[in-house]
Structure 1
Amino acid sequence: MLRNTIFLLIAMCSTLMSSLSFAHYPILTCSVQQADENKVVICEASFSNRAKAPNVIMEVFSDEDEVLASGTTDDQAMYQFPLPESDYFILMDAGPGHVLEISNDEVSNNL
């Protein structure tokens, strides 16, 4: 009985550890850039396992929770929107457990 319990415990721990090794989290890298005469924010969505995140929901909100822009990443996992005039935050929603929010303070300025 004890032997079976120990075996079961080891099997459960192995399963848990292997599933954790496959876990990944969303990454959003954004920068302000000049596009013609306008400033835009360009974001690249990916996961910690280095996979790109195409076709994920992207939303941009003001500090007052007003939607400033929304859409999805393209086939190259890129999303672009006009630079808001005031503070904002970007929400990447790649599905359950894969939601990420970054503020404009986390956006690099490449001007």
Structure 2
Amino acid sequence: MLRNTGLFMLLLLMSSLSWAHYPVLNCHLSQNPTSGDTVICSASFSDKSLAPNVVIEVYSEDDEVVSQGRTNDDSSYRFNRPQGAFFILMDAGPGHALEISNEEVTGL
């Protein structure tokens, strides 16, 4: 009986782990000679679900906020490319925060 209970608990734990997902942030540079360079980010989760209305903050290398807002209904966020190094923080709630550096932005 104890062995069956242990096996049941193990299976229950493993099934709950399969529900877990983590945040994903994909950003790329869009160059425009007239309006300047724009960084476009798409927020989602590892289970392929979109992440609309998620907080996005962009910080300079001096830890100053250079852009902040929320993803739109399409789970995207746009901002003007800052001068120098920067990093992007995605905060989708407790346990769902992600930070990427400018080196992870495609096209930079």
TM above 0.5, yes or no, is: yes
Aligned residue type for 2:67: A
**2:30 is matched with which residue: 25, 29, 33?**
33
Match of 1:89 in 2: 87
Match of 1:16 in 2: 13
* Percent identity (aligned): 50
Report the structure, 1 or 2, having the larger strand content.
1
Deviation per CA, 1:23-76, whole angstroms, max 9, x where unpaired? Answer: 111110001102442111000000110001000000000111111100000000
4+ aligned runs moved over 3 Å, structure 1: none
Aligned-residue offset at 1:17: 0.2
> In 2, distance between residues paired with 1:76 and 1:15?
34
Aligned-residue offset at 1:109: 1.0
**1:43 is matched with which residue: 37, 41, 55?**
41
Query: Could you list the runs of 5+ residues in structure 1 that have no partner in the other structure?
Result: none
Aligned-residue offset at 1:11: 1.7
> In 2, distance between residues paired with 1:92 and 1:102?
9
Larger Rg: 1
Query: Could you list the runs of 5+ residues in structure 2 that have no partner in the other structure?
Result: none
- Counting matched residue pairs gives 107
